[in-house]
């Protein structure tokens, strides 16, 4: 014992307090405004819930209606309305619920194999389900104008839905539909105090805190003859240390038929295990509150469920994404049971000898033949000893931000990169309207035989208005479309931004496995749609290198060729120029003094703009009206070092202005001189006027290069328009047909001068 102490103490001696791990996503991540392709707007009391989706459309449960919304343009292509009766609404109000909740919020949708549709709603706090039978339609009926795919169903049954559908539209309920049966995880009473996992006749025990203790259900999946439920709940085993919420996965067998005798309405196979999403270490740091899961993703040989976790609501806000192998989950249910001898004891593993044989909780042919002892054991020992470990034993992403936490997740599985590797591209929404996109890659460290997990954050996009929580994410790979769902809106943004990038470095810097730079057409292409052949050398991609390395990959065009590239394009606006100088300074890339404008160089400012950009470190800047959200470090650097730059720039402008003044006066006086006008001696007292007279080609050209000529131009707010800065490293584009706004002007000017 002493020796153990020795080791540990000597380790901790003199230890400077350092962060043993740092979040993968830093709070100062540069968030960009996403390009919104389409909206579907309701209001926040609609409590939108995605009930089903395919590559063409989504079904959105809302207030008194279910919408069928096309993924292309988010247009409503059908709806089915179902209002509560007046009697139900009045009763709801009488029970003290606010009017806005006394509606029928549609929360459950399922298609039966026979084509019937099951739909359940809160029905003003008196949940009901309806069975709809499809109606044969004539061809004219089937496609009324504007409702090409209208739902045409008739109600065949209308039944009470206690235990199938929540009472409140905001309750964290979930369900799975398997083999024609609905497995629901919700509450079975008006007040929400009776949580349950239910399937026709079978339910978890009422008010049994060992089975479910104030759960918040986040998702359910069917797999290998089981239905798995993911939720967070108050941890019974922790109770002695105050309250704590733990994350769980529970499972039931699909062929569970209930127990014998008086156990006929009880699950004989309900078991749960803790989900371990923690940063490993001497003192593991747990993200304890699961918030959302993805559907099962077939990732290589594994079936994975990706999940979002957060710290407790009173803790320092932190979020993580963990993946769980379905095999690991199922293995946990084959391990030891956890039990508490009495209320004053620790929760400890049940010794193998004390577990009844055959092992309780297994999926058996007919659970009604199981012994009462086994059923009782499973009822009193629903918790497994071992937590389910996360894949790689650590989160795939960790995030610490005082302003938001992750709330939702979607996975675009098995995207093939240029080198043939497959990546699950993960999208995770935040409670303030952002979507973080990232991948994970395993790198083998030179000094280690262990693969190291590396998180590559591709982007963080502001999709919803700041402060609006993302409730769900729907991916349609086929349509290159990500639908971001809030309580009252659907917003469609691009899944990938490859084709919006116009320069090689920008394309490589994305680090998106689906984006590659086409060396032949000079475009950033989406590999999924570009009919390329893997292994050909006409594409570039750089997923796990520094930006410097990425820059070195991009082709360098000899400068001799640049002179021939003359395209007429407007000069950069002053805003853009300042932006560039800031970015240049931010990148720690101050122009050298040789590059700075001297008093005698009329084009000093342009020169800064055009020569001071180091292609390294410049992230592609997609549609960024909020350039101000640049990373803190960048801004700090910029505000420090750009003063010098700006000072010199201003000096340049000043001198430029002086010259213009001189030239104007001279030209003017030249004209007047030539006209033998002798009145110039009085000119000094007059206000100086720029008359833009046609005093010669040189002057015109200078005025054309006057950056203030375009000051009134509004800042670019649209992605396509704002390509000017993509051209800042102009040499890359010289072979291209795309107009580059900068650089060309200088050429023109030089040609003239």
Considering only residues 312 through 351, tell me which ones interact with a second copy, judged by CB under 8 A.
312-318, 341, 344-348
CB of 406 to a second copy, least distance (A): 9
Residue number with CB closer to a second copy (70 or 398):
398
Residue number with CB closer to a second copy (363 or 660):
660
Choose the stretch contacting a second copy; rule: CB under 8 A; options: 1-9, 251-259, 357-365, 610-618: 1-9
Residue number with CB closer to a second copy (21 or 752):
21
Residue number with CB closer to a second copy (105 or 132):
105
* Region class of 420: left (phi > 0), else alpha (psi between -120 and 50), else beta: left
| Residue from 37, 653, 701, 738 in contact with a second copy (CB under 8 A) | 653
Residue 491's H or E segment, with its range, is strand 489-494
CB of 245 to a second copy, least distance (A): 7
Question: Does residue 140 bind a second copy (CB under 8 A)?
Answer: no
| Residue from 301, 592, 628, 675 in contact with a second copy (CB under 8 A) | 628
In the region spanning residues 256 to 295, those forming contacts with a second copy, defined by CB under 8 A, are 279, 281-285, 291
CA distance readout (Å), 519 to 218, 308, 503, 724:
45, 38, 11, 21
Question: Does residue 579 bind a second copy (CB under 8 A)?
Answer: yes
Residue number with CB closer to a second copy (188 or 524):
188
Question: Does residue 13 bind a second copy (CB under 8 A)?
Answer: yes
Say if residues 436 and 397 touch (Cβ distance below 8 Å). Answer: yes
The residues near 511 (Cβ < 8 Å, ≥ 6 apart) are 439, 456, 458, 542, 543, 544
Question: Does residue 646 bind a second copy (CB under 8 A)?
Answer: yes
Question: Judging by DSSP bridges, how do beta strands 318-325 and 451-462 pair with one another?
Answer: unpaired
Question: Does residue 457 bind a second copy (CB under 8 A)?
Answer: no
Question: Does residue 723 bind a second copy (CB under 8 A)?
Answer: no
Q: In sequence order, what E strands does 268-317 have?
A: 271-276, 278-279, 285-286, 289-293, 297-299, 302-310
Q: What is residue 24's DSSP assignment?
A: S
What's the N-to-C CA distance of the chain in angstroms?
86
Q: How far apart are CA 717 and CA 695, in angstroms?
A: 37
| Residue from 329, 664, 702, 740 in contact with a second copy (CB under 8 A) | 664
Collapsing DSSP states into helix, strand and coil, what is residue 628? helix
Q: ω before 358 within 30° of 0 (cis)?
A: yes
| Residue from 87, 421, 632, 753 in contact with a second copy (CB under 8 A) | 632
Q: What is the separation of C-alpha 539 from the centre of its chain, rounded to a whole number of angstroms?
A: 27
Choose the stretch contacting a second copy; rule: CB under 8 A; options: 248-256, 433-441, 660-668, 720-728: 660-668
Q: How far apart are CA 253 and CA 333, in angstroms?
A: 12
Burial group, residue 726, by CB count within 10 angstroms (0-12, 13-18, 19+): buried
Q: How far apart are CA 622 and CA 391, in angstroms?
A: 33
Q: What is residue 615's DSSP assignment?
A: S
Residue with tokens 């649209």: 718
The residue count for binding a second copy (CB under 8 A) is: 127
- Residue window 18-47: x/- pattern of binding to a second copy, with contact defined by CB under 8 A: xxxxxx--xxx-------------------
- With the C-alpha atoms ordered 538, 539, 544, 547, is the resulting torsion angle positive or negative? positive
Q: What is the DSSP string of 414-439?
A: EEE-TTS-EEEEEEEEETTSEEEEEE
Question: Does residue 711 bind a second copy (CB under 8 A)?
Answer: yes
Residue number with CB closer to a second copy (147 or 672):
672
Axis-axis angle for helices 604-611, 744-752 (nearest 10): 140
| Residue from 240, 538, 598, 751 in contact with a second copy (CB under 8 A) | 240
Question: Does residue 673 bind a second copy (CB under 8 A)?
Answer: yes
Residue number with CB closer to a second copy (8 or 373):
8
CB of 241 to a second copy, least distance (A): 7
Q: How far apart are CA 33 and CA 460, in angstroms?
A: 9
Q: How far apart are CA 50 and CA 296, in angstroms?
A: 17
CB of 310 to a second copy, least distance (A): 6
Question: Does residue 593 bind a second copy (CB under 8 A)?
Answer: no
Other CB atoms within a 10 A radius of the CB of residue 209 amount to 12
- Residue window 462-501: x/- pattern of binding to a second copy, with contact defined by CB under 8 A: -------x--------------------------------
| Residue from 357, 654, 677, 721 in contact with a second copy (CB under 8 A) | 654
CB of 3 to a second copy, least distance (A): 7
- Residue window 169-188: x/- pattern of binding to a second copy, with contact defined by CB under 8 A: xxxx--------------x-
Q: What is residue 7's DSSP assignment?
A: H
Residue number with CB closer to a second copy (292 or 524):
292
Q: What is residue 456's DSSP assignment?
A: E
| Residue from 78, 195, 360, 597 in contact with a second copy (CB under 8 A) | 195
Choose the stretch contacting a second copy; rule: CB under 8 A; options: 535-543, 552-560, 654-662, 740-748: 654-662
User: 409 — phi, psi (to 5°)?
Assistant: -150, 145
Q: What is the DSSP string of 194-239?
A: -EEEEETTEEPPTT-TTT-SS-EEEEEEEETTEEEEEEEEE-STTT
Question: Does residue 133 bind a second copy (CB under 8 A)?
Answer: no
Q: How far apart are CA 505 and CA 729, in angstroms?
A: 9
Q: What is the separation of C-alpha 182 from the centre of its chain, rounded to a whole number of angstroms?
A: 30
In the region spanning residues 604 to 623, those forming contacts with a second copy, defined by CB under 8 A, are none
Say if residues 470 and 434 touch (Cβ distance below 8 Å). Answer: yes
Question: Does residue 694 bind a second copy (CB under 8 A)?
Answer: no
Residue number with CB closer to a second copy (431 or 523):
431
Residue number with CB closer to a second copy (321 or 501):
321
Q: How far apart are CA 596 and CA 642, in angstroms?
A: 13
Residue number with CB closer to a second copy (393 or 661):
661
Q: What is the DSSP string of 126-176?
A: S-EEEEEEE----HHHHS-TT-TT---EEEEEEEE-BTTB-SSTTS--EEE
Question: Does residue 638 bind a second copy (CB under 8 A)?
Answer: yes
Choose the stretch contacting a second copy; rule: CB under 8 A; options: 32-40, 362-370, 511-519, 655-663: 655-663
Question: Does residue 107 bind a second copy (CB under 8 A)?
Answer: no
In the region spanning residues 559 to 578, those forming contacts with a second copy, defined by CB under 8 A, are 574-575, 578
CB of 409 to a second copy, least distance (A): 14
Question: Does residue 660 bind a second copy (CB under 8 A)?
Answer: yes
Q: How far apart are CA 28 and CA 276, in angstroms?
A: 28
Question: Does residue 193 bind a second copy (CB under 8 A)?
Answer: yes
In the region spanning residues 350 to 389, those forming contacts with a second copy, defined by CB under 8 A, are none
| Residue from 661, 717, 718, 752 in contact with a second copy (CB under 8 A) | 661
Choose the stretch contacting a second copy; rule: CB under 8 A; options: 60-68, 308-316, 362-370, 377-385: 308-316
Question: Does residue 655 bind a second copy (CB under 8 A)?
Answer: yes
Question: Does residue 207 bind a second copy (CB under 8 A)?
Answer: yes
Question: Does residue 647 bind a second copy (CB under 8 A)?
Answer: yes
In the region spanning residues 214 to 233, those forming contacts with a second copy, defined by CB under 8 A, are 214, 216
Choose the stretch contacting a second copy; rule: CB under 8 A; options: 243-251, 563-571, 725-733, 737-745: 243-251
In the region spanning residues 513 to 542, those forming contacts with a second copy, defined by CB under 8 A, are none
Angle at 83 between CA 79 and CA 87, to 5 degrees: 175
Collapsing DSSP states into helix, strand and coil, what is residue 542? coil
Collapsing DSSP states into helix, strand and coil, what is residue 693? coil
CB of 684 to a second copy, least distance (A): 5
Question: Does residue 683 bind a second copy (CB under 8 A)?
Answer: yes
Maximal C-alpha separation, the chain: 122
């Amino acid at each position: 014992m002493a020796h153990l102490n020795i080791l540990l103490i000597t380790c901790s001696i003199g230890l400077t307090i350092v962060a043993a791990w740092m979040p993968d996503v830093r709070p100062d991540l540069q968030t960009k405004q996403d390009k919104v392709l389409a909206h579907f707007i309701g209001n926040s009391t609609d409590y939108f819930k995605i009930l089903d989706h395919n590559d063409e459309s989504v079904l959105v449960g809302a207030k008194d209606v279910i919408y069928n919304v096309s993924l292309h343009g988010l247009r409503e292509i059908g709806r089915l309305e179902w209002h509560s009766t007046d009697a139900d609404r009045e009763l709801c109000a009488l029970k003290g619920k606010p009017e806005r909740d006394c509606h029928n919020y549609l929360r459950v949708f399922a298609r039966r194999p026979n084509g019937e549709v099951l739909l359940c709603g809160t029905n003003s706090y008196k949940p009901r389900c309806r069975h709809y039978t499809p109606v044969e339609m004539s061809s004219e009926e089937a496609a009324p104008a504007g409702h090409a795919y209208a739902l045409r169903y008739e109600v065949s049954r209308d039944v009470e839905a206690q235990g199938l559908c929540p009472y409140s539209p905001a309750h964290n309920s979930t369900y799975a539909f398997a083999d024609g049966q609905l497995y629901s995880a919700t509450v079975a009473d008006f007040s929400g105090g009776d949580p349950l996992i239910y399937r026709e006749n079978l339910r978890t025990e009422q008010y049994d805190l060992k089975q479910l203790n104030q759960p918040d259900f986040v998702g359910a999946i069917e797999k290998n003859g089981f239905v798995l439920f993911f939720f967070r709940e108050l941890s019974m085993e922790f109770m002695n240390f105050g309250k704590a919420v733990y994350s769980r996965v529970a499972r039931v067998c699909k062929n569970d038929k209930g127990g014998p005798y008086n156990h006929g309405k009880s699950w004989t196979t309900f078991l749960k295990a803790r989900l371990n999403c923690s940063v490993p270490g001497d003192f593991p740091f747990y993200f304890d509150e699961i918030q959302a899961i993805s559907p099962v993703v077939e990732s290589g040989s594994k079936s994975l469920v990706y999940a979002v976790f957060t710290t407790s609501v009173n803790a320092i806000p932190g979020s993580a994404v963990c993946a769980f192998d379905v095999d690991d989950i199922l293995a946990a249910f084959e391990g030891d049971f956890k039990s508490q001898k009495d209320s004053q004891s620790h929760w400890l593993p049940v010794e193998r000898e004390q577990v009844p044989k055959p092992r309780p909780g297994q999926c058996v042919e007919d659970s009604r033949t199981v012994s009462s002892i086994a059923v009782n054991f499973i009822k009193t020992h629903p918790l497994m000893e071992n937590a389910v470990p996360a894949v790689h034993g650590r989160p795939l992403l960790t995030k610490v931000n005082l302003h938001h936490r992750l709330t939702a997740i979607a996975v675009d599985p098995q995207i093939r990169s240029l080198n043939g590797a497959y990546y699950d591209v993960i999208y995770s929404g935040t409670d303030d309207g952002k979507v973080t996109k990232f991948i994970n890659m395993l790198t083998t460290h030179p000094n280690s035989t262990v693969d190291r997990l590396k998180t590559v954050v591709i982007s963080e996009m502001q999709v919803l208005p700041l402060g609006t929580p993302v409730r769900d994410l729907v991916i349609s790979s086929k349509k290159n479309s990500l639908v971001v769902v809030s309580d009252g809106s659907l917003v469609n943004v691009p899944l990938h931004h490859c084709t919006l990038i116009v320069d090689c470095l920008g394309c490589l810097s994305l680090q998106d496995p689906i984006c590659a730079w086409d060396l032949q057409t000079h475009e950033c292409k989406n590999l999924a749609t570009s009919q390329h052949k893997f292994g050909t050398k006409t594409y570039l991609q750089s997923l796990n290198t520094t930006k410097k390395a990425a820059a070195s990959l991009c082709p360098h065009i000899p400068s001799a060729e640049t002179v021939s590239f003359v395209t007429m394009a407007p000069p950069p606006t002053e805003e853009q120029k300042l932006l560039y100088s800031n970015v240049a300074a931010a990148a720690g890339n101050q122009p050298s003094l040789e590059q700075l404008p001297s008093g005698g160089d009329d084009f000093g400012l342009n020169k800064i703009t055009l020569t001071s950009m180091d292609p390294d470190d410049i992230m592609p800047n997609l549609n960024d009206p909020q350039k101000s959200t640049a990373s803190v470090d960048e801004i700090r650097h910029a505000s420090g070092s750009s003063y010098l730059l700006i000072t010199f720039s201003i000096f340049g402008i000043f001198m430029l202005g002086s010259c213009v003044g001189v030239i104007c006066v001279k030209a003017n006086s030249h004209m007047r001189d030539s006209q033998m006008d002798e009145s110039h001696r009085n000119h000094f007292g007059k206000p100086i006027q720029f008359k833009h007279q046609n005093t010669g080609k040189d002057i015109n050209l200078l005025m054309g290069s006057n950056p203030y000529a375009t000051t009134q131009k509004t800042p670019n707010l649209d992605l396509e328009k704002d390509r000017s800065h993509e051209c800042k490293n102009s040499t890359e584009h010289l072979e291209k047909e795309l107009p580059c706004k900068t650089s060309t002007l200088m050429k023109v000017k030089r040609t003239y001068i």
